[in-house]
Structure 1
Amino acid sequence: MPKDIRKMLENYSEKPSELSTNHNKRFEERLFKELHSEEKKKRPVIQWLSIAASIVLLVTLGVKFIDFGGEIETEDPVEKKLTLGSISPDLNTIESYYINSINLELSELEVTDENKELLNDYLEKIGELTKEYKSLTEELNTKGVNDQTIDALISNLRLRLQLLQRLKKQLNDFKKLNLKQNEIQQV
């Protein structure tokens, strides 16, 4: 059964406690021993070492990951060239899409003796467009970023992809035509 604490404390009387006359003296002696013991002397050294190690670690991490706004000189400075993809994330996505698509189309081409001439003509045109793309990139680096150069770079990539798709379609048509001719000759 719960008991009411107020009733329990009604008859409570506090016993006065007195400190011994030597209490202050004993306390001072203990305090002096604690402060001047050998273990306590070694402990601050370890604490200072751990603090110093933490500071060195933080400074090292800070130098590693924080850019102070200035470029660090290296022995062999590399000139940063501006490309379509380095202008903005959206343009990087566009450039990556076209370049990956162009590379995919190129990898899917089948070279045979029959289609070699057609393939060479298209690849020559694509090579010219690639040279033009490089010169447009140089123009981007010399004249700076402008809408006309960006549009020309994107159009160049689009045109190369369209040429490769047209080439692929013509090669498929050529292949079907050859198959039909072979079937007719066999009959």
Structure 2
Amino acid sequence: MAQDIRELFQKEQKNETQANLPAGHEARFLKKLDAEFSKTPKTTWSWWYIAASIVVVLGVGFGTFKYFQVPGNIQVVDTPTDTEFNKGEIPTRTLGDISPDLKKVEDYYLANINFELSKVTLTPENKDLIDGYLTQLETLNQEYKRISLELTHSGPNELTVNALITNLKFRLNLMYRLKEQLETLKTTDSIRKRTNV
């Protein structure tokens, strides 16, 4: 006794009667809904909330204290400072001390940085621009010295070597940007002079 399911749905739709809601049901429902949502929530602070907050704060504070506490049997070793480095008291290691290939990389970047720096001509018009770039270059030089100090103190690892190479790349890119800015400044000055003539 197989029946087609489409026929069953069609019969069901014809026989389906719409259930009517009692009169005013929707209005009463909306009125109750508005009454519930218009109530203001009571903001009473129970002493349990306060006590729980204090326990959490004390727990986090104690955990932080224990985490950062130096045990008594471990000696804290001072790392060399930049002033010790600048005085020449501590010999630092460079990329060239690690391997000959890294020495080639370091020499390549330093030679290009110095070459680009040697091509810069200082004029009154570009003095502020060059001073800004030289300040950034000095900041990167100090960072390079700090990373070299870390290399000396901790020994070579991938992060330190990559940081040194990245620093050299940043310094070379900084010199290239300076060169572009100087060329742009030169062309705008020459255009300005031609239009004023």
TM-score (norm 2): 0.54
Partner of 1:124: 135
Offset of residue 81 of structure 1: 3.5
Matched letter for residue 165 of structure 1: Y
Structure 2: 5+ residue stretches without partners:
1-88
Displacement after TM superposition at 1:79 (Å): 7.0
Identity rate, percent: 42
Which of 1 and 2 has greater Rg?
Answer: 1
Distance in 1, matches of 2:128 and 2:176, equals: 17
- RMSD of aligned alpha carbons: 1.3
Q: Which amino acid aligns with 1:98?
A: Y
Name the counterpart of 1:152.
163
Q: In structure 1, what residue type is equivalent to 2:184?
A: D
Q: Does 1:161 align with 2:167?
A: no
> Alignment partner for residue 88 of structure 1, among 92, 95, 99?
99
Matched residue type, 1:100? A
Q: Which residue type is aligned with residue 119 of structure 2?
A: E
1:140 has 2:151 as partner? yes
Find the counterpart in structure 2 of residue 175 from structure 1.
186
Give the Cα–Cα distance (whole angstroms) in 2 for the partners of residues 102 and 112 of structure 1: 20
Query: With structure 1 as the length reference, what TM-score do the two structures score?
Result: 0.57
Find the aligned partners of 2:93 and 2:132 in 1 and give their Cα distance.
31
Q: Partners of 2:169 and 2:104 in 1: how far apart?
A: 14
Offset from partner CA, 1:64-113 (integer Å, 9 cap, x none) = xxxxxxxxxxxxxx976421111111100000000000000000001111
- Where structure 1 has 5 or more consecutive residues not aligned to the other structure, the ranges are 1-77
Matches within 5 A, 1:37-48: none
The SS at the match of 1:112 is: coil
SS at match of 1:109: coil
Could you list the structure 1 runs, at least 4 aligned residues long, displaced by more than 3 angstroms after superposition.
Answer: 78-81
Distance 1:169 1:140, change over 3 A: same
Alignment of 1:10-21 (within 5 A): none
User: Against the structure 1 CA distance between its residues 137 and 96, is the aligned structure 2 distance closer, same or farther, given a 3 Å change threshold?
Assistant: same
Amino acid aligned to 1:116:
K
Count of aligned pairs between the two proteins: 109
Work out the CA distance in 2 between the residues paired with 1:157 and 1:85: 13
